[in-house]
Amino acid sequence: MPSNLILFGSTLGDTERIAGRLAKLLPGETRLASVATFRMASLMDFDRILLGTSTWGAGDLQDDWESAVGQLRGLDLTGKTVALFGLGDASGYPDTFVDGLGILHEAVSKAGAVRVGYWPTDGYAFDASRAVVEGRFAGLVLDEASQSHLTEERLGRWVREL
Ligand SMILES: Cc1cc2nc3c(=O)[nH]c(=O)nc-3n(C[C@H](O)[C@H](O)[C@H](O)COP(=O)(O)O)c2cc1C
């Protein structure tokens, strides 16, 4: 059984592609899974859990997360290490930038996990985001629409900090 899980929700494939790149960068064995087909109770089988979502509508979680997030709220993740990543578009949606990441953060914050992978807001131009927690993003933020040239460096730096 791999020790890492990367669980993603992705509509057009951006978050899925990023999840695949993360899997290559993470040390150790990694299982990559879509939340559309994953049994949430199996989260307990992994020591390090990375959860990724894009944001849709006006600040909504990616669709496949909608039912899974309720199950996430009910899990006891004591002893697990959890990191989050979110994709959004700051120029198109500056008032709800990566809000989905914030919704995931709210769901896991009461689950008892060790939370890692918070990320500075410097270098992102947005007006409001539910993903900002005490001045930092609740996880890695990537903007494939307008800052894809920064993604490689951000991924490498984030993985080194986990
Ligand atoms: C209709 C629509 C609504 C969106 N709403 C938001 C939003 O509220 N906030 C945000 O940061 N990005 C928003 N986005 C941008 C997506 O999150 C972004 O394109 C992302 O890379 C898509 O990833 P996916 O293919 O993994 O779902 C929206 C995009 C579309 C097309």
- Has residue 28 got a pLDDT over 70? yes
If one residue of 65, 66, 87, 132 were mutated to test the ligand 1 pocket, choosing by the most ligand atoms within 8 A of its CB, it would be: 87
Predicted local distance difference test score (pLDDT) of residue 110: 79
Residue 118 in tokens: 């918070």
- pLDDT tens digits, 42-85: 999 999 999 999 999 999 999 999 989 999 988 999 989 999 99
User: How far is the centre of ligand 1, averaged over its atoms, from the C-alpha of 60 (Å)?
Assistant: 9
Predicted local distance difference test score (pLDDT) of residue 2: 64
User: How far is the centre of ligand 1, averaged over its atoms, from the C-alpha of 28 (Å)?
Assistant: 30
Range of the domain at 148: 4-161
User: How far is the centre of ligand 1, averaged over its atoms, from the C-alpha of 48 (Å)?
Assistant: 26
- pLDDT tens digits, 85-139: 999 999 999 999 999 999 999 999 878 899 999 999 999 999 999 999 999 999 9
Q: CATH number of the domain at 156, please.
A: 3.40.50.360
Number of domains in the chain: 1
Which residue is closest in CA terms to ligand 1's atom 31? 56
- Has residue 1 got a pLDDT over 80? no
Q: Indicate which atom in ligand 1 lies nearest the CA of residue 8.
A: 26
- Has residue 33 got a pLDDT over 90? yes
User: How far is the centre of ligand 1, averaged over its atoms, from the C-alpha of 87 (Å)?
Assistant: 7
3-state secondary structure the chain: CCCEEEEEECCCCHHHHHHHHHHHHCCCCEEEEECCCCCHHHHHHCCEEEEEEEEECCCEECCCHHHHHHHHHCCCCCCCEEEEEEECCCCCCCCCCCHHHHHHHHHHCCCCCEEECCEECCCCCCCCCCCEECCEECCEEECCCCCHHHHHHHHHHHHHHC
Enumerate residues lining ligand 1, CB below 6 A: 10-15, 54-59, 62, 87-89, 93, 96-99, 144-145
User: How far is the centre of ligand 1, averaged over its atoms, from the C-alpha of 71 (Å)?
Assistant: 23
